[in-house]
Amino acid sequence: MTGGQTESHSLRGPIDRPALLAIRDLFNGNEPLATAKLDDFLNPRALKVEYDDGLRSAERSRIDVQWTTRNDYKYHYTDSEGVNLRWGRHPHNGDYIQVPGPEHYHPPPDASSDPSTVEESCIKQQPETLVTLAVLKLWRAAYHANSLTPLNSGKNPP
Amino acid sequence: MTGPAEPEPFEDINQAVREEWVAGTTPYERVREVVSRTYAPTDADTLADRAHTSPKTARKHLNTLADDGFVTTETGANGATLYRRSAESLVVEQAADILSEVSTEELRDRIAEMRDQIGEFQQEYGVESPEELAVDQTNALLNESTRAGEEPDDETIREWKTTRRNLAFANAALSIANAEKFVEAGSQTDNETVSSS
């Protein structure tokens, strides 16, 4: 049974509106292809970032962002080709056997949550500014490489 | 379509964005940004580390921010000063953001809606707050008397806490809007009295 496991993998704390606003402004200010909006201006549960293009053959894509008062987060990518992947930070009780810390990556094509396939995330830093700048840069690197590999390799070779 | 420029080659994404951030901001801006969403009391060394500046510089800016009311301080167990975002300053900031986009009328409707939602949670789970719910859950687990189906999941608890927090910001916005109305109305009446006499 995985019922208990799912609960121990939850984000800690309420969603933080002030953090979502800061992340919204970073997407809107740094990425000409992206338009970021709170899902509900007064009672937001997520930030929706719509891209006018997608990675590889996808024509559109979206990143849904959740960030809590305790700095747990999810950045979930989904596109018009049905590809999903997600960077996250939350406790997992050691269930993700390849992941030593709370930061992890649910790989494409389906953002798998299978404990043996979840990878260690290449994003290690804390403040939401740096996490968001990293996601923006990784998306661009993948966009220009026409490959999903840079998303968690954390590198952009010349 | 003008696509985004291809990023410069990088070997480590963490280092790449850190350098970009440090190059584009002053230490004061980074300290302010980091502490603006630090809600748990935290020492200057940790905040300096997160803001990529020295503890001495961080402490100087944190003390300025404390004088301005942006940050509150307390003394930790070992005598060190701990800093966190002032709740008052955060509430005022969020209220101003809300009032810049939402009419008082809409705000009233949405506040009623959020109150209803919290009332529904209270009724459904028979407790006043999500904290009580978490305690109940732990007790149920310890007693191994968990009844599947009636237990709210962590998602529900987070939803409840999130709505309660956002309701607090919305309430503050409405209070400020009302206060401003009466303060302004008062000053107008005063002017009329002056001009008619």
Structure confidence at residue A4 (pLDDT) = 38
Residue of A nearest to B49 (CA): A126
B21 and chain A: CB distance < 8 Å anywhere? yes
The alpha-carbon gap from A123 to the nearest alpha carbon of chain B, in Å, equals: 6
Query: Which residues in B lie closer than 8 A to residue A101 (C-beta atoms)?
Result: none
What is the interface pTM, i.e. ipTM, of the complex?
0.92
- B9/A156 Cβ within 8 A: yes
Contacts within 8 Å (CB) and 24+ apart, A79-82: A79/A54, A79/A55, A80/A54, A81/A54, A81/A56, A81/A57, A82/A109
B105 and chain A: CB distance < 8 Å anywhere? no
- B114/A125 Cβ within 8 A: no
B24 and chain A: CB distance < 8 Å anywhere? no
Query: Which residues in A lie closer than 8 A to residue B154 (C-beta atoms)?
Result: 7, 10
Residue of B nearest to A158 (CA): B9
Select the CATH number that applies to the domain covering B14-85 from these four: 1.10.10.10, 3.40.50.620, 3.40.640.10, 1.20.1250.20.
Answer: 1.10.10.10
pTM of the model: 0.91
Low-confidence spans in chain A with pLDDT less than 70: 1-8
The residue extents of the domains of chain A are 3-144
Give the pLDDT of chain B (197 residues) as one tens digit per residue.
445 578 899 999 999 999 999 999 999 999 999 999 999 999 999 999 999 999 999 999 999 999 999 999 999 988 999 999 999 999 999 999 999 999 999 999 999 999 999 999 999 988 999 888 877 777 776 665 544 445 678 888 999 999 999 999 999 999 999 998 888 766 555 555 444 43
Q: How far is CA A3 from CA A7, A10, B21, in A?
A: 7, 12, 40
